[in-house]
Structure 1
Amino acid sequence: MNLRYGMNPHQQTATATPIDPGTRPLRVVRGEPSYINILDAAGAWQLVREAATALGRPVAASFKHVSPAGAATAGPLDAVTAATYQLDPAATGAVTGAYARARDADPKSSYGDFVAVSEPVDEELADLLRRVVSDGIVAPGYEPGVVASLAAKKGGRFLVVEADAAFEPPAVEAREVYGLRLTQPRDGVPLTRELLTDPRLPAAAVDDLLLGLVVVRHTQSNSVAYVRDGMALGIGAGQQSRVDCTRLAGAKADTWWLRRHPSVQASSARIQDRVAEQLRRAGDVPDPAAWLRALDRVAFVSDGALPFADNVEEAARHGVRYIAEPGDSIRSAAVQQECDRRGITLVRTGIRLFRH
Structure 2
Amino acid sequence: MMKELELKYGCNPNQKPARVLMEHGGLPFTVRNGKPGYINLLDALNGWQLVRELKAATGLPAAASFKHVSPAGAAVAVPLDETLKKVYFVESIELSPVATAYTRARGADRMSSYGDFVSLSDACDAQTASFLAREVSDGIIAPSYSAEALDILKKKRKGTYLVLQMDEAYAPGTLERRQVFGVTFEQQRNTIAITRDCLADRPTKNKDIPEAAKRDLLIALITLKYTQSNSVCYAKDGQAIGIGAGQQSRVHCTRLAGQKADNWHLRHAPQVLALPFRDDVRRPDRDNAIDVYIGEEWEDLLETDDWKRVFTEKPPVFTRAEKKAWIAKAHGVALGSDAFFPFGDNIERAHKSGVSFIAQSGGSIRDDNVIAACDKYGIAMAMTHIRLFHH
**What band does the TM-score fall into relative to the shorter chain?**
over 0.9
1:231 aligns with 2:217: no
Asked if the contact 2:351–2:377 (Cα under 8 Å) also holds between the matched residues in 1, the reply is yes
Are the aligned partners of 1:63 and 1:115 in contact in 2 as well (CA < 8 Å)? yes
CA drift at 1:89? 7.2
Q: 1:277 Cα deviation (Å)? A: 3.2
Corresponding position of 2:311: none
Which residue of 1, 7, 10 corresponds with 1:3? Answer: 7
Give the match for residue 115 of structure 2. Answer: 112
Tell me the SS of whatever aligns to 1:191.
coil
**Distance in 1, Cα, partners of 2:214 & 2:324:** 28
- 1:114–1:316 CA distance, 2 compared to 1 (3 A): same
* Residues 1:338 and 2:373 aligned together: yes
Alpha-carbon contact 1:268-1:277 (below 8 Å) kept: no
Change (3 A) 1:45 1:145: same
For residues 267 and 284 of structure 2, the distance between their equivalents in structure 1, rounded to whole angstroms, comes to 14
Cα deviation digits, residues 207-249 of structure 1 (max 9, x gap): 1001111000000000110000111000010000000010000
Q: Of residues 264, 279, 285 in structure 2, which corresponds to 1:273?
A: 285
Q: 1:154 to 1:84 in 2, by over 3 A?
A: farther
- Equivalent residues of 1:258, 1:285 under 8 A apart: no
The answer (yes or no) to whether the contact 1:77–1:89 under 8 Å persists in 2 is no
Confirm or deny: 8 A CA contact 2:95 2:128 kept in the other structure. Answer: no
2:253 equivalent in structure 1: 245
> How far off its partner does 1:97 sit?
0.8
Provide the rounded CA distance (Å) in 1 between the counterparts of 2:195 and 2:331. Answer: 24
Rounded to whole Å, the distance in 2 between the matches of 1:121 and 1:156 is: 18
Q: How many residues align?
A: 355
Contact kept, 8 Å, 2:234 with 2:336, in 1: the verdict is: yes
List aligned pairs for 1:303-318, cutoff 5 A: 303-318=338-353
* Unaligned stretches of 5+ residues in structure 1: none
Q: Which residue does the alignment assign to 1:13?
A: 17
Moved over 6 A (4+): none
Tell me the CA shift for residue 142 of structure 1.
0.2
Identity of aligned residues (%): 46
Q: Residues 78 and 89 of structure 1 are in contact (CA less than 8 Å); yes or no, is this contact kept in structure 2?
A: no
Greater CA radius of gyration, 1 or 2? 2
**CA shift at 1:141, angstroms?**
0.4
Task: Normalising by structure 1, report the TM-score.
Answer: 0.96
Q: 2:226 aligns with which of 207, 218, 231?
A: 218
Query: Which amino acid letter does the alignment assign opposite residue 330 of structure 1?
Result: I
Q: 1:100 — aligned with what?
A: 103
Q: Cα distance, 1:131 vs. partner?
A: 0.2
| Cα-to-partner distance string for 1:290-316 (whole Å, 9 max, x where unaligned) | 111001100000001111111111111
- After superposition, residues 125-274 of structure 1 pair within 5 angstroms as 125-197=128-200, 200-264=208-272, 265-266=274-275, 267-269=277-279, 270-274=282-286
Unaligned stretches of 5+ residues in structure 2: 296-316
Residue 28 of structure 1 deviates from its aligned partner by: 1.4
Letter of the 1:233 partner, please give it. Answer: I
Residues of 1 paired with 2:327 and 2:159: CA distance? Answer: 43
Quote the RMSD (CA, aligned, Å).
Answer: 1.5
CA-CA distance at 1:169 after TM superposition:
1.4
User: What is the TM-score of this pair, normalised by structure 2?
Assistant: 0.88
Which of 145-154 and 112-121 deviates more? 145-154
